Amino acid sequence: MSSGDPFESMRLRLASVQRSLSWNPGDSGWTARARAAVSDAVGVVNEPWPDPVLHMGDSTSADGYRRIRVEFPSHAGWDARGWLMIPDGVKAQSPAVVCLPGHGAGVDEIVGLTAATYHADFALQSVREGWVTLAVEQVSFGSNRSSREVNGQSSCTIDSMAALLLGETMTGWRVRDASAGRRALSTLPEVDPARIGVIGISGGGLTTLWSAALDPEFLAAGVSGYFCPMFQSIMNVAHCPDNYVPGFGLLMDIPDLAGLIAPRWLAVENGTLDTIFTKEGFKQACELAEQIYAKSPERFTSDLFEGDHVFNGRKILPHFHKAFAR
């Protein structure tokens, strides 16, 4: 007899699944088939692209950089938005980074406009590294929060459910915005289109990992507080519905996505005290990533730092400097 607990029943079923597209180094066609299957699962990412453009708004001079409010087309009926930060004295064809916040007050939390949180102003750190930085407001966060949501800091639940009615997912929406941001950055004379990376923490780490896996034009990815198998993360404690992609558990596990990034550059980090994405799960995920990057070990780095669910960056930012070096 069953326990009567539907979630536990689902966990048991998922644990017994033989995933059809787990990373397979001996399969020369794995990358193409896996990327196509994951793209189909998240929806929306393969829609035709509008012409890339950055619509510039108000501009403010700050300490060592200029911050500009921007919008840019993403997909049918939707323009993404965020902050573009350009370092003073930046040269043409310089590296650039798309930065993605996790749950909280939105993109203002990563550009120094609100009090420091677990995000540690990592977009501000990026522009101070000398990189053109586009901090993207994720769907359902901050200024992209649905007016129908009256409680909490995000509208992930109502928006995620609506996306499912369209055969799409919140993951797909957010990945689409990240890639739209990369495309928009590539139009700037200050930016080298071949040297654009993506960094995020928590829900932004999710978008970062999936974006780099599905968009081969990202040169590097920095994932904080997300790189963890399902059974040590989203199937371990209660998570926001934006973490779930229909059918994904039949295809692969989260760390397998690193196989769609290699041999491009990947840096991952996790806090030892993180209860959302466990250190045991992080270690397990890194073991697989090290196998994936066996032929190019210098392009993968991991950091299990002492701390909670916070952005640290002590290995991510130097790894990006290596990736961006000509």
Tell me if 94 is assigned to some domain: yes
Mean pLDDT across 179-197: 98
Burial of residue 161 (CB within 10 Å: 0-12, 13-18, 19+) is: exposed
How far, CA to CA in Å, does 269 sit from each of 95, 227, 265, 272, 278? 22, 8, 14, 10, 11
Domains held by the chain: number: 1
- Average the pLDDT over each of 36-45, 148-157, 166-175, 297-306 and give the range with the smallest value: 148-157
Tell me the pLDDT band of 90, cut-offs 50, 70 and 90: very high
Gap between the Cα atoms of 56 and 141, Å rounded = 21
Q: Tell me which DSSP letter residue 49 carries.
A: P
pLDDT of 326 strictly over 90:
no
Mean pLDDT across 268-290: 97
| Residues contacting 196, CB < 8 A, separation 6+ | 95, 96, 97, 98, 182, 185, 186, 217, 218, 219
- The CATH number covering residue 55 comes to 3.40.50.1820
Tell me if 222 is assigned to some domain: yes
77 or 282: which leads in pLDDT: 282
pLDDT at 150: 62
39-69 residue pLDDT tens: 999 999 999 999 999 999 999 999 999 999 9
pLDDT of 3 strictly over 90:
no
Tell me if 163 is assigned to some domain: yes
Burial of residue 235 (CB within 10 Å: 0-12, 13-18, 19+) is: middle
The parent domain of residue 210 ranges over 6-324
Tell me if 54 is assigned to some domain: yes
Q: What is the mean pLDDT of the chain?
A: 95
pLDDT at 238: 83
229-270 residue pLDDT tens: 999 999 888 888 999 999 999 999 999 999 999 999 999 999
Tell me if 1 is assigned to some domain: no
How far, CA to CA in Å, does 67 sit from each of 46, 74, 85, 87, 190? 31, 21, 4, 9, 14
pLDDT at 147: 85
